[in-house]
Copies of this chain bind each other. A is one copy, B any other.
């Protein structure tokens, strides 16, 4: 299946991590990252620690998040390069939600001894490719033997202190905006987990390796069964989320929001967290929420609950903003720049403590309960990732 060569990879395709060895893997990773050292990085891979020059007049923004095999992904649903991409972007999303520019990454890999080393190389290639695209440099990390695969990434970014976006700054009267669409990644995952998904070939993950980025939905890889394009797009959203880095930066630089959080654990959870940290309530207009078309598509074809996917589906990595009215024009201008995802006004912050959904007919209901990582024992593959903050 994997025909393309990987530059500098001279091990047998079937060689295990134990056979290739930790030192050879690290040497290969160092070569894959290259010596394209920036002025920012005094020391990259190869010493006891990495050394990075802080950006002048900026603060360091630090986050860490992990992808665990069988919890956040399965190899049946995600290719190696997908996993590397995701492991980086879940962290970029946290940095984006602070209005910061991601700069460097550390990679802590836990590898079963019998895992194919080539699969690891493809994972690292996916991560390094995603890092380059985001102008992030992989500067260090470690490889450890582990009973099961995990990919733990730390990202350090930079922001001017006055441009930081916190969760806690929202005030009553601020309007709530969300980027992109919600429920897409959850719909993609649900489709893969559904009978209809398992029957078709699309459960095949993206091809591995450097060429993966060229793979596009609708390129025929999916075999004879034609997929609704919304589902195809949702599969990509699930496998290769794109953190909203540029959007967070623009909004931060323009001081156009009073609070921000990413929707890694779903829209309802993000709303609750932002409201709780800010000491406000929220009223969300159900009809305004930009539910991804894949959610509707999926609900039509399976017994998935549209509302559950839309409100509680995680892993979209969109940004939720609170915007003071006086900053509305500034926000719409900053977020309306070319290349940025659309933003949609979905409600407002209130003086009351309640988090409410308001239907078109005026009926009010509480937001669905927050997501608890440990209670989702049945939703194993692709389980949502808790926010940074432990």
Instruction: From known contacts A108-B66, A110-B150, A386-B142, infer whether A61 and B51 are also in contact, taking CB-CB under 8 Å.
Output: yes
Which residues of chain A from 96 to 121 have any CB-CB distance to chain B below 8 Å in the complex?
A: 97-98, 100, 104, 106-111, 113
The complex is assembled from copies of this chain, and their number is 2
Let me know if A362 is at the binding interface, CB within 8 A.
no
For the complex, give the distance between the alpha carbons of A282 and B25 in Å: 26
Residues B68 and A62 in contact, CB atoms below 8 Å apart: no
Which residues of chain A from 305 to 348 have any CB-CB distance to chain B below 8 Å in the complex?
A: none
Let me know if A279 is at the binding interface, CB within 8 A.
no
Instruction: From known contacts A22-B386, A47-B168, A145-B68, infer whether A140 and B374 are also in contact, taking CB-CB under 8 Å.
Output: no
Q: Scan A54-78; emit 1 where CB is below 8 A from any B CB, else 0.
A: 1000111111111010111000000
Let me know if A372 is at the binding interface, CB within 8 A.
yes
Q: Which of A38-46, A174-182, A188-196 contacts B (4 or more CB under 8 A)?
A: A38-46
Chain B CB within 10 Å — which of A25, A370, A386 has the most? A386
Residues A61 and B66 in contact, CB atoms below 8 Å apart: no
Residues A377 and B113 in contact, CB atoms below 8 Å apart: yes
Q: Scan A129-166; emit 1 where CB is below 8 A from any B CB, else 0.
A: 00000000001111111111010101011010100101
- Residues of B near A100 (CB, < 8 A) are 49
Q: How large is the interface on A (under 10, 10 to 19, 20 to 34, 35 or more residues)?
A: 35 or more
For the complex, give the distance between the alpha carbons of A152 and B372 in Å: 21
For the complex, give the distance between the alpha carbons of A159 and B53 in Å: 10
Let me know if A1 is at the binding interface, CB within 8 A.
no
Smallest CB separation, A97 vs chain B (Å): 4
Let me know if A375 is at the binding interface, CB within 8 A.
yes
* Nearest opposing residue in chain B for A72, CB measure: B144
Residues B94 and A63 in contact, CB atoms below 8 Å apart: no
Let me know if A355 is at the binding interface, CB within 8 A.
no
Residues B60 and A142 in contact, CB atoms below 8 Å apart: no
Which residues of chain A from 280 to 304 have any CB-CB distance to chain B below 8 Å in the complex?
A: none
For the complex, give the distance between the alpha carbons of A159 and B50 in Å: 12
* Nearest opposing residue in chain B for A383, CB measure: B145
Q: What are 19 A-to-B residue pairs whose CB atoms are below 8 Å?
A: A17-B374, A21-B375, A22-B373, A46-B389, A47-B166, A48-B94, A48-B95, A49-B100, A51-B60, A53-B59, A62-B139, A65-B142, A70-B147, A108-B108, A108-B390, A142-B387, A143-B386, A144-B373, A156-B156
